[in-house]
């Protein structure tokens, strides 16, 4: 018995690791956030393992049945639509319950959207905080205001439909000169990373139709000091 968390490509299908393919082929069952999306990846690599849905709308209901199968000796792999399960995706509840029941859990290293976006940003990445998606409505203004005192680099996920709004909200709290990097469509054909001040990057995205998953990397309140410290450490 074992539960595997298996990262899948956030863009180019070639980003799948050999080991990820092997684990998915050898598992008794693959749990997928969206079976239609995961079937594309599995067909590409000739993986014929049975698929079952496991997503935010059924994870509580399906949880005990999955644990029972694991306790019965099965090997089960969890994948999400893209990236590493548990990072702003289903996975935490299942891992927690597996640990409680003494079921071995292993997460394979692999694709996740925020790491390449962070490294590409040119903003200090020696200290950062991952914030995932900010609240859409209730509590959003409070969440944005709380970022003003954060000294570390901040990593935020956002929808293409709200990116201009988010950049405007950040600009209103942090000032138009705060440095930011926005990456979208990571590892895909039309991948784009835009760097600059909040004002400059907001204007860029306000002038076009925005598509694709988005990662925002925002400099902390002591970004300049952090940049100097990083430079000294490289000497």
Q: In whole angstroms, what is the distance from residue 28 CA to residue 24 CA?
A: 9
Q: Which of 139, 219, 210, 112 lies closest to 230 in space, CA to CA?
A: 219
Q: What is the pTM of this model?
A: 0.88
Torsion from C-alpha of 81, 83, 89, 90, nearest 10 degrees: 80
Residues 103, 16, single domain; the answer is yes
Selection from 169, 156, 172 nearest residue 216 by Cα: 156
Q: Does the pLDDT of residue 228 top 90, yes or no? A: no
**Residue predicted with more confidence, 54 or 230:** 54
pLDDT of 235 above 50:
no
Same domain, 81 and 163: no
Looking at the structure, tell me whether residues 101 and 128 fall in a common domain: no
CA distance 105 to 83: 18
46 and 75 both lie in a single domain? yes
Judge if 10 and 52 occupy the same domain.
yes
Question: Containing domain of residue 159, as a range?
Answer: 114-234
Which of helix, strand or coil describes residue 83?
strand
Same domain, 9 and 96: yes
Together in a domain, 80 and 188: no
Q: What is the pLDDT of residues 143-171, one digit of tens each?
A: 999 999 999 999 999 999 999 999 999 99
Residues 68 and 123 in one domain: no
**pLDDT tens sequence across 76-128:** 999 999 999 999 899 999 999 999 999 999 999 999 999 999 999 999 999 99
Backbone angles phi, psi at 55, to 5 degrees: -145, 180
d(CA 230, CA 152): 13
Helix, strand, or coil (residue 150): coil
Closest CA to 190 of 23, 3, 12: 12
Domain closes at, from 44, 79, 107: 107
Q: What is the CATH number of the domain that holds 41?
A: 3.40.1010.10
160 shares a domain with 61: no
Same domain, 58 and 131: no
If one counts the domains in the chain, the total is 2
């Amino acid at each position: 018995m074992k539960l595997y968390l298996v990262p899948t490509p956030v863009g180019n299908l070639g980003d799948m690791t050999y080991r990820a393919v092997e684990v998915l082929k050898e598992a008794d069952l693959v749990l997928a956030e969206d079976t239609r999306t995961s079937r594309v990846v599995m067909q590409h690599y000739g993986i014929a393992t049975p698929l079952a849905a496991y997503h935010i709308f059924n994870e509580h209901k399906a949880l005990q049945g999955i644990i029972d199968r694991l306790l019965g000796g099965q090997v089960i792999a969890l994948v999400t639509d893209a990236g590493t399960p548990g990072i702003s995706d289903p996975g935490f509840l299942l891992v927690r319950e597996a640990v409680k029941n003494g079921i071995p859990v292993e997460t394979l290293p692999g694709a996740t959207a925020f790491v390449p976006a962070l490294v590409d940003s040119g903003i200090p990445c020696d200290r950062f905080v991952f914030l995932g998606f900010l609240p859409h409505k209730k509590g959003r203004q409070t969440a944005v205001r709380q970022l003003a005192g954060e000294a570390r680099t901040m990593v935020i996920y956002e929808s293409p439909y709200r990116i201009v709004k988010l950049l405007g909200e950040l600009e209103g709290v942090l000032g138009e000169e705060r440095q930011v990097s926005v990456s979208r469509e990571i590892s895909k054909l039309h991948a784009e990373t835009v760097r600059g001040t909040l004002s400059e990057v907001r204007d860029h995205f306000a002038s076009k139709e925005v598509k694709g998953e988005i990662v925002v990397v925002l400099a902390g309140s002591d970004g300049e000091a952090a940049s100097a410290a990083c430079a000294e450490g490289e000497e």
